[in-house]
Amino acid sequence: RKEVEQDPGPFNVPEGATVAFNCTYSNSASQSFFWYRQDCRKEPKLLMSVYSSGNEDGRFTAQLNRASQYISLLIRDSKLSDSATYLCVVRSGNTGKLIFGQGTTLQVKP
């Protein structure tokens, strides 16, 4: 079983739609959680950290459920520029090692 699992998609949505991505992780000792965005042939870039209380950054909302070992990302009012691959990332312990999910591809169409 993969340590971090995501539905690879692709998710094809029209502009303005709301889309949600889910992620599960297997290691209950995981310490920190993130969503990264990766554009084609580029390095991943931090989109937002994820906290148990849930957090929001503009059109993006992230949620963490430690009991279910489940992470989500909600994107409201999708823009064409949101088209990318979204990576669910988990940090284990204090080593600083980041474990990446396969990524979920989003394509926003006009």
Question: Cα 48 from chain centroid?
Answer: 9
The answer to whether residue 94 forms part of the interface with another protein (CB under 8 A) is: no
| Residue numbers 28-57 binding another protein by CB under 8 A | 41-46
The answer to whether residue 1 forms part of the interface with another protein (CB under 8 A) is: no
Between 81 and 95, CB nearer to another protein: 95
The answer to whether residue 9 forms part of the interface with another protein (CB under 8 A) is: no
Burial class (CB in 10 A: 0-12, 13-18, 19+), 22: middle
Kindly report the backbone phi and psi dihedral angles of residue 81, in degrees, each rounded to the nearest multiple of 5, phi listed first: -70, -10
The footprint of another protein (CB under 8 A) covers 4, 8, 41-46, 87, 95-103
